[in-house]
Amino acid sequence: MNRCFLRFVVLFVMAFGFAATSATAGPNDPLFISLSGDGANKVGHVLHFAGLQMSRGHPVTIWLNEGGIFLASKKHTEKHAARQKELADLMSKGASVLVCQYCMKQLDVAESDLLPGFKMGNPDLVGGALFKDNTRT
């Protein structure tokens, strides 16, 4: 094979391969975030990102599961007060925060333990947000 042809093939693959795999979000496409932990750094990063995307016009749903459910619990306010305030601020701006019902049972968090604004998830709520047209995760 000559070098010129080989260079052409490499450039072609690079140009069209990347173009074919790139995905772009529309200006108002919803964002679904699954948050499965309660570590301060991880949660801070996720909430900051969610706020940035909301400011760009993307509706945001945050799905708290596994250890993330503690962020919604009154019993864990001492540890998570700052992050609970951030979540409340996001909800006041229109974010939806759903809490995994199964995880709540497994980790002993009752519905009455949820702070105001947090919604206990169910298949219809979670599936409706996750599979809404043009949703990004």
Of 9 and 94, the structure prediction assigns the larger pLDDT to 94
17-21, 59-63, 73-77: which range is least confident on average? 17-21
* Residue whose token pair is 């490499």: 10
- Largest distance between two CA atoms of the chain: 72
pLDDT at 6 over 90: no
H-helix or E-strand containing 119? strand 119-120
Question: Could you give the percent of the chain with pLDDT greater than 70?
Answer: 83
- CB burial class (10 A; 0-12, 13-18, 19+) of residue 104? buried
Q: Give percent of the chain with pLDDT exceeding 90.
A: 80
Cβ(112)–Cβ(75) below 8 Å: no
pTM of the entire structure? 0.82
Alpha-carbon span 74 to 60, nearest angstrom: 23
Which domains are delineated in the chain? 30-130 (3.40.1260.10)
Question: 17 pLDDT exceeds 60?
Answer: no
Q: Which helix (H) or strand (E) holds 97?
A: strand 96-99
Could you report the per-residue pLDDT of 93-116, keeping only the tens digit for each? 999 999 999 999 999 999 999 999
Q: Rounded to whole angstroms, how far apart are CA atoms 64 and 126?
A: 11
